[in-house]
Amino acid sequence: MRRIIIDTDPGLDDAVAILLALASREELEVLGIVAVAGNLPLAQTERNSRRICALAGRAELPVYAGCGRPLMHPLETAERIHNDPRLEAVLPEPVTAHGSQHGVDFLIEAVLSAEAGTITLCALGPLTNVAMALVKEPEIAGRIGELVVMGGACFELGNVTPAAEFNMHVDPHAAAIVMESSIPKTIIPLDVTHRLITTNARLAKLDAFPNRCGPAVSALLSGFERNRRVQFGARAKTLHDPAVIGYLLRPDLYRGREVNLVVETQSPLTRGMTVVDWWDVTGRTHNVRFMNTVEVEGFYELLMERLARLP
């Protein structure tokens, strides 16, 4: 069993990722959720995190508010996509208050109090909280078992600018700090997530589940697709953040390689670009495991089977 902490900015697809983790109690022990500003401002991402836990019947799970803005730039959100009325319609009101401790302090204390190497961090949004934790307490870099990040791209390039994926673009300086750290890191980029297309048949199957979470996920993913359709066409149906949890549960579905990855922080044209040395042309030391493909049918079979377990 992995002991995990989810750092997240829900968000429509983040909600599905959290539900997938909470549906996998035999493999994943979720120690807590830390919200970060990203898809939506912090007040919404923190509240949505508690509402998702309530939907899953896990209202007791601790949720903490982390950083409300990136390290160096004003916050850029994706409210046009993620501030969707379906979130209000399908998520219940939160049952408990968020934790009084700052999310960064929770991350640090949880890692330092655990046996080294036994906690996995799952980063579904901008890396602000993780970077701040590393700056405040560098010792945690040697104690985190693995950091699995949804972010970046190699051959797929960007989805918020021509060069950059959203999570990396929002806080490139935080991403650079994290990528330069010694934490064992696995990256789940757009190269993987753009393969995970939620077809109408898959949505219909979710909608027919005899629980409340299946139809809720169908509604969330329908909203996600609808809000992105004009810009992304068929790729509006792709899933991003749940691919991180899928990797934790079924790493055999994913393929990639060890590479060097650097995050661009200076250029206004390529801010947040993940410069991936896929062919080892620079000779720089490998610092991440970068996944570039996934077995799509296996992933969706896993997603469906686990979501069916929820209330």
Q: From start to end of 134-190, where are the E strands?
A: 144-150, 185-188
Among positive and negative, which fits the CA dihedral 209, 215, 216, 217? positive
Q: Using alpha carbons only, how large is the chain's radius of gyration in Å?
A: 18
Q: Sort 50 into a burial class: Cβ within 10 Å, 0-12 / 13-18 / 19+.
A: buried
194: annotated active-site residue: no
Record the tokens describing residue 205, joined without a space: 């199957």
Q: Which sign does the torsion angle of CA 29, 135, 104, 265 carry?
A: negative
- Helix (H/G/I), strand (E/B), else coil: 109: helix
Catalytic residue among 82, 169, 173, 240: 240
Do residues 171 and 142 lie in contact, with contact meaning Cβ atoms separated by under 8 Å? no
Catalytic residue annotation: 240
